[in-house]
Amino acid sequence: MTWLVTGANGQVGHALVQAAPSEVIGLDRAALDITDAEAVRRAIAARAPDAVINAAAYTAVDRAEAEPEIAFAVNRDGAANLADACAAVGIPLLHISTDYVFDGTKAAPYTEDDAPNPLGVYGQSKWEGEEAIRDRFDQHIILRTAWVFGAHGTNFVQTILRLAREREALRIVADQHGHPTPAAAIAEALLHIARGVCAQQGQWGTYHFAGQPPTTWHGFAKAIVAEARAHEPLAVQTLEPIDTTAYPTPALRPLSTLLDTTRISEAFGLTMPDWREELRRIVVEG
């Protein structure tokens, strides 16, 4: 079986290519721009994959507030282009979405049936991308995940490692709760689901997939620093916990986006990854 992966140079796209190089046809943005509907159709026709996995996205949460037209072109219209092209040739589309479709005010973990209410352009564009896929055809999987990190690309782990080497004191937001989730684990889950749904059909829909245990950005930063300090000397001495209000950003962020992952575990027999294991691997291996 072959899977065509868009956004192959992103965190999850790269992890998909690494996880299954013989099954994955990875196309980065230069090879396939998902905002170009005709190019999307041509790429799928030429490669004839068994399914498409969309790992391409506009993920700059703050910058999206200043350039909403680009965020919507990629996250909503790009998703629609892929759904149209997959529907036309009758193959499934696996798509990744985000906990930022929620407003973060729910006291309990969000289920897939909870109503979205994005706080910013990024979350809104991702929500409209989900809806564009649902409107077009049933043969889709939408995997909502959170706080993605890995060895490849720009993410919170890489940022904290850099700052911890440079500065004695860091101030980190401690009142936003979420799930750090390894890109490699998302890739493995998508491949597992792709193999399953393509063989059996019938489990289409939206699922939550999230690393465990949930934490705050401050808790995540503490774990990163502790892990790194075991392997190298660091400049950082204090990690000051601060509230979101003390760190204003162009985009509002949801305060608590804990995700209920019961549905994906029951449907596909998946165990949620412990993000601390992947963090250790990244810090040790670089």
Ligand X SMILES: NC(=O)c1ccc[n+]([C@@H]2O[C@H](COP(=O)([O-])OP(=O)(O)OC[C@H]3O[C@@H](n4cnc5c(N)ncnc54)[C@H](OP(=O)(O)O)[C@@H]3O)[C@@H](O)[C@H]2O)c1
SS3 labels along 168-202: CEEEEECCCEECCEEHHHHHHHHHHHHHHHHHHCC
- Rank residues 73 and 234 by Cβ distance to ligand X and give the closer one: 73
Per CB under 6 A, does 7 bind ligand X? yes
> Considering only residues 74, 172, 173, 282, which one is a binding residue for ligand X as defined by CB under 6 A?
74
- Rank residues 61 and 225 by Cβ distance to ligand X and give the closer one: 61
Instruction: Count the residues of the shown chain that bind ligand X, applying the rule CB under 6 A.
Output: 27
For residue 21 the two structure tokens come to: 């190089």
- Rank residues 9 and 203 by Cβ distance to ligand X and give the closer one: 9
Per CB under 6 A, does 52 bind ligand X? no
> Considering only residues 3, 5, 10, 209, which one is a binding residue for ligand X as defined by CB under 6 A?
10
- Alpha-carbon distance of 5 to 121, in angstroms, equals 25
Known catalytic residue at 58: no
- Rank residues 131 and 234 by Cβ distance to ligand X and give the closer one: 131
- Rank residues 229 and 247 by Cβ distance to ligand X and give the closer one: 247
Amino acid, single-letter form, for residue 50? D
For 92, 151, 169, 234, 285, the CA distances from 282, given in Å and listed in that order, are 32, 6, 23, 16, 5
For residue 65 the two structure tokens come to: 């507030």
Per CB under 6 A, does 130 bind ligand X? no
Q: What residues numbered 80-109 form the site for ligand X, per CB under 6 A?
A: 96, 98
Site track 152-191 with ligand X (rule: CB under 6 A), x = hit: -x-----------------------------x--------
Q: If we measure between CA atoms, which residue out of 5, 7, 54, 56 comes closest to residue 28?
A: 7
Closest distance to ligand X from the beta carbon of 17 (Å): 11
Per CB under 6 A, does 209 bind ligand X? no
Per CB under 6 A, does 29 bind ligand X? yes
For residue 34 the two structure tokens come to: 């998902």
Q: If we measure between CA atoms, which residue out of 17, 64, 238, 52 comes closest to residue 133?
A: 52
Under 8 Å between Cβ of 210 and 97: no
> Considering only residues 4, 33, 85, 228, which one is a binding residue for ligand X as defined by CB under 6 A?
33
- Alpha-carbon distance of 9 to 92, in angstroms, equals 22
- Residue where the block lists tokens 């696996």: 94
For 275, phi and psi rounded to 5 degrees?
-65, -20
Handedness of CA 278, 281, 285, 286 (dihedral sign): positive
Instruction: Select the span of 32-40, 102-110, 219-227, 268-276 touching ligand X (CB under 6 A).
Output: 32-40
Closest distance to ligand X from the beta carbon of 51 (Å): 16
The single residue of 58, 100, 110, 122 carrying the catalytic annotation is: 122
Interface positions with ligand X (CB under 6 A) = 6-7, 9-13, 29, 33-35, 55-59, 74, 78, 96, 98, 126, 145-148, 153, 183
**Active-site residue set:** 122
